[in-house]
Structure 1
Amino acid sequence: MIDTLHAENLTYTRGSRKLIDDLNVTLYPGEMVALIGPNGAGKSTLLRLLTGFLPADSGECRLGQQALTEWDRAKLAQRRAVMRQQNVMTFSQPAEDVVAMGRAPWPSLHSASIVQQVMAMTGCDELAKRDYRQLSGGEQQRVQLARVLSQLWQDDAPQGWLFLDEPTSALDLYWQQQTLRLLHKLTRQPRLSVCAVVHDLNLASLWADRILLLHQGKLVAQGTPQEVMTEDVLTRWYQADVQVTRNEENGRPHIQLRQ
């Protein structure tokens, strides 16, 4: 049986505010999913619930046939990896050592060669010896991507569940394109699933197989980019005056703000 990651009736409250409200979602292997929604919609909170970093007030997340809370932490680390928005380091560390941290769940495997392979794949090999703290925000983001890919690396490819919180926020246009191309290519093999919080709707439209649109902690729309990214849906939930056209090459929606 191919594993899925399924969340059922998730609720999470902080203070008097319900950040996630009775939410149900299923993620499948071999797909690239974009979490979108206005500020405060609950995207990052949902990501933390789906990865087991936050305990839900009610409801349950299951990976395969087992609740995340029942997984051995070391085994779970071999199956899912998480790249957060902020990854601050307070001491000097070469970039290649940061990437190598991703191999912690696999102490007996050939970590050095895997680190080199993943750094080359993500364009980080030229950063290998540089102090991570001295890198630009975009360079640090690329190193963190290499770290989480190395964490899931098995049998010459990443396998499992990769969760990314705004993975392109600090990248220039070239590296946005290269990063999303790489992730999309890796998910074409049904051994990796990517779920990413994405603020740029056009990037989400171009690369995601499926869109999950959140608003005030609820999943208000889901489906292909063509199904979700319509003028009516985006205007309703973002409260912005947008124009949606179709890309002639691929049929994907293209979103513009009206003047």
Structure 2
Amino acid sequence: MEQLEAHSLRYSQGGRLLIDTLDLTLKPGEMVALIGPNGAGKSTLLRLLTGFLTPDHGECRLGNRPLDEWPRERLAQRRAVMRQQNPVTFSLPVEAVVAMGRAPWPSADANGIVQQTMALAGCDELAGRDYRQLSGGEQQRVQLARVLAQLWQNGAPRGWLFLDEPTSALDLFWQQQTLRLLHRLSRQHDFSVCAVLHDLNLAALWADRILLLHQGRLVAQGSPQEVMTEATLTRWYQADLRVASRHESDRPVIQLRA
């Protein structure tokens, strides 16, 4: 599986510098969390890494090829993106939304893949319902099934999955189930995950590596234990917090002070 690299990325919009000379490497099999305060550039970076935005300077490469040189269909078979908002303006059953993920592929056995990914994402119980009538959390589970279907090959998702706040509308049970699923898939298959997460405790619990952004710059990266220290988080978030440790896993626990 190819690694994904960003070299000297710069991106501006409306006269404002959103990404400032950024370099990073995403390795196969990793589960990476992008964190940072509001306006840090997380969603913009995600769109640059996936080819939906073109940098003003620098480039992103998947394997040995710049993203803009990949044929659109082949790139869609290697990476999928789940954005924060996925509006549907007309009546559409849940299965049809999930089946949209198969657009880059020949039509063979799309129904079987839709059923498998809906079961994985825990939304098979929503089959037959109008997507617009679902709650925000239910819609997020359907969108997860859609992007898994997009990457489905030979009985499993394979490639790069990018997610922007995938747990924002989920209750505690589905937050746990979703991140546990993504972590397991990254361990069992040719599958890598990069997710923007605002919940630092979820990022600390599930990510192999943390990338901390501030004003468009990558200011810290490493394991949760390396990045999520009181000094680092206080400096970049400007919040009054403390960091403890989970005894069973040594993963950091972030607590706001009263």
Same fold per TM (> 0.5)? yes
The aligned counterpart of 1:67 is 66
Using the aligned pairs only, state the percent identity: 75
Residues 100 and 111 in structure 1, CA contact (< 8 A), matched pair in contact too = yes
Q: Deviations over 1:11-61 (max 9, x none)?
A: 001122110000001101111000000000000000000000000000000
What is the correspondence of 1:182-201 to structure 2 with a 5 Å cutoff? 182-189=181-188, 191-201=190-200
Compute the displacement of 1:207 (Å): 0.3
Distance in 2, matches of 1:118 and 1:30, equals 20
Distance 1:13 1:199, change over 3 A: same
1:128 aligns with 2:127: yes
Compute the displacement of 1:190 (Å): 5.0
Distance in 1, matches of 2:206 and 2:156, equals 20
The aligned counterpart of 1:245 is 244
Moved more, 106-115 or 216-225: 106-115
State the SS of the aligned residue for 2:193.
strand
Distance in 1, matches of 2:85 and 2:107, equals 29
Aligned residue pair count: 258
The aligned counterpart of 1:254 is 253
* Equivalent position amino acid for 2:238 in 1: Q
Compute the displacement of 1:109 (Å): 2.7
State the SS of the aligned residue for 1:40.
coil
Structure 1: tracts of 5 or more residues without a match: none
Moved more, 119-128 or 135-144: 119-128
TM-score, normalised by the number of residues in structure 1: 0.98
Structure 2: tracts of 5 or more residues without a match: none
* Equivalent position amino acid for 1:52 in 2: G
1:143 aligns with 2:147: no
The aligned counterpart of 2:102 is 103
Distance in 2, matches of 1:108 and 1:68, equals 25
Distance in 2, matches of 1:176 and 1:115, equals 22
State the SS of the aligned residue for 2:37.
coil
What is the correspondence of 1:91-240 to structure 2 with a 5 Å cutoff? 91-189=90-188, 191-240=190-239
The aligned counterpart of 2:81 is 82
* Equivalent position amino acid for 1:195 in 2: C
Distance in 2, matches of 1:172 and 1:108, equals 34
The aligned counterpart of 1:55 is 54
Residues 156 and 189 in structure 2, CA contact (< 8 A), matched pair in contact too = no
Compute the displacement of 1:249 (Å): 1.1
Q: Deviations over 1:179-209 (max 9, x none)?
A: 0000000000351110000000000000000
TM-score, normalised by the number of residues in structure 2: 0.99
Residues 157 and 189 in structure 2, CA contact (< 8 A), matched pair in contact too = no
Compute the displacement of 1:136 (Å): 0.2
Task: Please report the RMSD computed on the Cα atoms of aligned residues, expressed in angstroms.
Answer: 0.7
Distance in 2, matches of 1:84 and 1:120, equals 21
Distance in 2, matches of 1:57 and 1:68, equals 14
Residues 29 and 190 in structure 1, CA contact (< 8 A), matched pair in contact too = no
Distance in 1, matches of 2:16 and 2:104, equals 36
Compute the displacement of 1:214 (Å): 0.0
Compute the displacement of 1:107 (Å): 1.9
* Equivalent position amino acid for 1:18 in 2: L
Residues 31 and 190 in structure 1, CA contact (< 8 A), matched pair in contact too = no
Compute the displacement of 1:114 (Å): 0.7
